[in-house]
Amino acid sequence: MSEIIELSSTDQQDAKRLDTSLQFLSFTLGQEEYGVDILRVQEIRSWEPVSRIPNVPSYEKGVVNLRGAIVPIIDLRERFQLGHSDYSPLTVVVVLQARMADKTRIIGVVVDSVSDVVDVNKKSIQSAPNFGAKVSTEFINGLVSVSGRMVMLLDVDKLLKLDGLDGEDES
């Protein structure tokens, strides 16, 4: 299991960090709690209206202008088929950096709320069990227990790749 974690933490900052511990930003989607590598989090913003993109899956909400860059916004609830919730100014968008080939791409994901930054000992990460059809385990790097709650650790790069956001698979 720990091998998979190392695969996703290849940048230099990671290497400098204690190799036994990782930091994750945790957030909630409905009743579930997820975590992403904190080094992949560029910023946290509140929801703002997007420009819709025609003929794409409904979880691809559209694009926004992030300081001059056009950035797609993905609704993770819908992506994971956890139902839809209405957006309010309190809805949170986590802006993530993902790597595709040698490029860094920026993507925003809509989550219900951001909970915490958690320190995770690598050794305490368990491999993901089969969730069945509900959530594709392909996005999940592993599971970790934080104060009795279960947090699913997401692999940002895979999340984007499976969405075909790498721009290579044209329609």
Partner 1 sequence: MSIDMAQFHQVFFEESFEGLDAMESGLLNLDLGDFNVEDINTIFRAAHSIKGGSGTFGFTAVSDFTHVMETLLDEMRDGRRKITQPAVDVLLGSVDCLRDMLQSIQNGSEVDQADVAEHKLALDNELNNAVPNSPSVGKQTAKASTVLPADDVKQIAGWVIAFSPHLHLLKTGNEPVRMFRELASLGHLTTTVDLQGVPNLYDLDPEECHLSWKLEVSGDIPETEIDEIFDWVEDDCDLAKQPIYQTPSESTPFHGSPEIAISHAVSRVTKDVSSELASSEESEANAADRKNGKKEDAKAAPKGSSSIRVDTSKIDTLINMVGELVITQSMLSLLGEHFELNKLDQLKNGLSQLERHTRELQESVMNIRMLPISFVFSRFPRLAHDISSKLGKKIELKLVGENTEVDKTVVELLSDPLVHLVRNSLDHGIEMPDVRLAAGKPETGTVTLEAYHRGGNIVIEVADDGKGLDKDKLRAKAIEKGLIDADAILSDKQTYELIFMPGFSTAEKLTDISGRGVGMDVVRRNIQALGGNIEILSELGKGSTISIHLPLTLAILDGQSIAVGDETYILPLGSIIESLHVKEDRLNRVAGKGETFLLRGQYLPIIRMHQIFNVLSAKTTKLTEGLIVVVEGQGLRCGLFVDDLLGQQQVVIKSLEANYRRIEGVSGATILGDGSVALILDIPGLVRLANQ
- At residue 3, the 3 state secondary structure works out as helix
Smallest gap from Cβ 156 to partner 1, in A, equals: 13
Question: What is the distance between the alpha carbons of residues 98 and 147, in angstroms, rounded to a whole number?
Answer: 29
- The token pair that represents 47 in the structure block: 């929801």
Question: What is the distance between the alpha carbons of residues 74 and 13, in angstroms, rounded to a whole number?
Answer: 27
Residue selected from 12, 13, 31, 55 as contacting partner 1 according to rule CB under 8 A: 55
Instruction: Looking at the chain, list the stretches that DSSP marks H as alpha helix, in order from N- to C-terminal side.
Output: 2-8, 12-16, 76-79, 156-162
- What does the buried/exposed string (b/e) look like for 131-168 if buried means 16 or more CB atoms within 10 Å of the residue's CB? eeeebeeebbbbbbebeeeebbbbbbbbbbbebebeee
- The token pair that represents 41 in the structure block: 């989090």
Nearer to partner 1, 54 or 129 (CB): 54
Nearer to partner 1, 132 or 167 (CB): 167
Smallest gap from Cβ 106 to partner 1, in A, equals: 5
Binding mask 33-52 for partner 1 (x = CB under 8 A): ----------------xxxx
Smallest gap from Cβ 3 to partner 1, in A, equals: 29
Nearer to partner 1, 69 or 117 (CB): 69
Residues 61-120 that bind partner 1 (CB under 8 A): 62-65, 68-72, 105-107
| Size, binding site for partner 1 by CB under 8 A | 27
User: Per this entry, what is the length of the chain?
Assistant: 171
Nearer to partner 1, 59 or 135 (CB): 59
Q: Which residues bind to partner 1, rule: CB under 8 A?
A: 49-56, 62-65, 68-72, 105-107, 164-167, 169-171
